[in-house]
């Protein structure tokens, strides 16, 4: 029962946050000054055509009715029609979202690996762990786009190890994710090409979250290491690594898992700048092309989708934590 109550609470919170997000987007649309009629039928249309278009689009309805129509569109997946591409925003998003999802997921995996390495190396004092932690700390203090530019200068311009832009791999695959599509096609050369193209943007996006996750995990590890059961395991003659793996790491993950979900949500915001630096071709590119022409349906669509992903990721993380630790759901 506590789990069910907690699940219901998180679901209600999720729906409430999405409702607030939809309201904010509607208000911004109202005050943005964007003219859907001019974007739909052109600025030189006759007054009769303008009046007919306003009636068709429901622009003469009261604001509450317009909001309900806007909300109904979001619920049914109708994000409107882009002023720039003249296509449904959802159709555009289906093409641009998979590259962004691929980049964020790979960057998140890299951040987890770097974060765990940062925390564990701090406890075990591995060789070269000091320079590694220092480099990660310095990298996390720089803006994400600056890390991308430095990576381009070092690994593309000077060393020539990695490509500067594009996605590589198998294009026009069934999922839109080049690494997965290359693996599905059984083309290992294309898989390697896709991994080479994603390495720099993923690393630039992962460095900041990696340090945040690593710091929290190291703090949890330090606390757990001082517990009685860990001292008992050490007294039995287990090595540092065995104690860490068997008795410490699992009991120290809760706080790091919670922060990891938060960092994953933040990545969906930071990815927009990274895509611009590396010409990645995801929703960041779509948004950057939509901003100069005030394509509000496209801007609102990207904002709602990314904001929704952020809220959903954190809600799922809370639920998983409550399953792992019943004390969370009870509280």
Q: What is the pLDDT of residue 274?
A: 86
Question: Mean pLDDT throughout 52-65?
Answer: 67
Instruction: Give the rounded percent of residues in the chain with a pLDDT score beyond 90.
Output: 3
Question: Mean pLDDT throughout 250-265?
Answer: 72
3-class DSSP state for residue 84? coil
Q: In sequence order, which residues have a C-beta less than 8 Å from that of residue 1 and are 6 or more positions away?
A: none
Question: Mean pLDDT throughout 68-80?
Answer: 81
Q: Is the pLDDT of residue 163 over 70?
A: yes
Residue at token pair 């007294």: 235
Q: Is residue 16 part of a domain?
A: no
Question: Mean pLDDT throughout 104-108?
Answer: 91
Q: Is residue 315 part of a domain?
A: no
Residue 43, classified by CB atoms within 10 Å of its CB into exposed (0-12), middle (13-18) or buried (19+), is: exposed
pTM higher than 0.75, yes or no?
yes
3-class DSSP state for residue 71? helix
Domain tally for the chain?
Answer: 1
Instruction: Give the rounded percent of residues in the chain with a pLDDT score beyond 70.
Output: 72
Q: What is the pLDDT of residue 107?
A: 92
Tell me which of 59-68, 87-96, 157-166, 270-279 is least confident: 59-68
The full DSSP string for 224-278 is: HHTSHHHHHHHHTT--HHHHIIIIISGGGHHHHHHHHHHHHHHHHHHHHHHHHHH
Residue 186, classified by CB atoms within 10 Å of its CB into exposed (0-12), middle (13-18) or buried (19+), is: exposed
**Which carries the bigger pLDDT value, residue 282 or residue 257?**
282
Q: Is residue 207 part of a domain?
A: yes
In this structure, are residues 108 and 264 in contact, taking their beta carbons and an 8 Å threshold?
A: yes
Q: Is the pLDDT of residue 324 over 70?
A: no
Q: Is the pLDDT of residue 326 over 60?
A: no
**Which carries the bigger pLDDT value, residue 213 or residue 169?**
213
Q: Is the pLDDT of residue 328 over 60?
A: no
Residue at token pair 């951040």: 111
Q: Is residue 175 part of a domain?
A: yes
Q: Is the pLDDT of residue 17 over 80?
A: yes
Q: Is residue 12 part of a domain?
A: no
Question: Mean pLDDT throughout 117-125?
Answer: 73
Question: Mean pLDDT throughout 166-180?
Answer: 80
Q: Is residue 41 part of a domain?
A: no
Identify the CATH number of the domain in which residue 212 sits: 1.10.3720.10
**Which carries the bigger pLDDT value, residue 55 or residue 302?**
302
Binned at pLDDT 50, 70 and 90, residue 270 comes out as confident
Of 259, 250, 258, 261, residue with least CA distance to 221: 250
Q: What is the pLDDT of residue 244?
A: 66
**Which carries the bigger pLDDT value, residue 5 or residue 231?**
5
Residue at token pair 């022409």: 293
In this structure, are residues 118 and 211 in contact, taking their beta carbons and an 8 Å threshold?
A: yes
Residue 140, classified by CB atoms within 10 Å of its CB into exposed (0-12), middle (13-18) or buried (19+), is: middle
Phi, psi (deg, nearest 5) at residue 280: -80, -35
In this structure, are residues 267 and 109 in contact, taking their beta carbons and an 8 Å threshold?
A: no
Of 258, 263, 260, 262, residue with least CA distance to 328: 258
In this structure, are residues 286 and 331 in contact, taking their beta carbons and an 8 Å threshold?
A: no
Q: Is residue 193 part of a domain?
A: yes
Rounded to an integer, what distance in angstroms lies between the CA atom of residue 66 and that of residue 52?
Answer: 17
Binned at pLDDT 50, 70 and 90, residue 106 comes out as very high
Query: Residue 81's beta-bridge partner residues?
Result: 88
Rounded to an integer, what distance in angstroms lies between the CA atom of residue 202 and that of residue 199?
Answer: 5
Binned at pLDDT 50, 70 and 90, residue 273 comes out as confident
Which structural domain range is residue 214 located in?
Answer: 95-283
Q: Is residue 300 part of a domain?
A: no
In this structure, are residues 217 and 210 in contact, taking their beta carbons and an 8 Å threshold?
A: no
Residue at token pair 């699940």: 7
Q: Is the pLDDT of residue 325 over 60?
A: no
What's the DSSP call for residue 81?
A: B
């Amino acid at each position: 029962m506590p789990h069910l109550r907690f699940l219901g609470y998180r679901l209600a919170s999720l729906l409430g946050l999405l409702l607030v997000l939809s309201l904010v987007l509607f208000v911004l649309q109202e005050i943005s000054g964007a003219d859907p009629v001019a974007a739909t039928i052109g600025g030189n249309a006759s007054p009769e055509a303008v009046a007919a278009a306003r009636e068709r689009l429901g622009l003469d309805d009261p604001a509450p009715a317009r909001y309900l129509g806007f909300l109904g569109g979001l619920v049914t997946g109708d994000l409107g029609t882009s002023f720039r591409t003249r296509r449904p925003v959802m159709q555009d998003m289906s093409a641009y979202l998979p590259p962004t999802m691929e980049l964020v997921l790979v960057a998140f995996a890299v951040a987890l690996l770097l974060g765990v390495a940062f925390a564990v190396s701090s406890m075990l004092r591995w060789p070269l762990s000091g320079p590694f932690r220092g480099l990660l700390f310095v990298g996390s203090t720089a803006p994400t786009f600056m890390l991308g530019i430095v990576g381009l200068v070092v690994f593309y311009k000077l060393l020539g190890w990695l490509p500067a832009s594009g996605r590589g791999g198998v294009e026009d695959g069934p999922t839109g994710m080049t690494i997965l599509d290359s693996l599905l096609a059984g083309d290992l050369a294309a898989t390697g090409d896709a991994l080479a193209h994603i390495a720099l943007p993923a690393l630039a996006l992962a460095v900041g979250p990696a340090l945040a996750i690593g710091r929290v995990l190291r703090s949890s590890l330090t606390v757990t290491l001082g517990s009685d059961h860990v001292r008992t395991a050490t007294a039995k003659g287990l090595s540092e690594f065995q104690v860490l793996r068997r008795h410490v790491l699992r009991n120290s993950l809760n706080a790091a898992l919670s922060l990891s979900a938060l960092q994953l949500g933040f990545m969906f915001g930071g990815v927009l700048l990274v895509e611009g630096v590396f010409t990645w071709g995801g929703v960041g590119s779509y948004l950057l092309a939509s901003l100069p022409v005030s394509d509000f349906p496209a801007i609102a669509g990207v904002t709602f989708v990314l904001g929704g992903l952020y809220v959903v990721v954190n809600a799922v993380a809370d639920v998983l934590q409550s399953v792992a630790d019943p004390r969370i759901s009870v509280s």
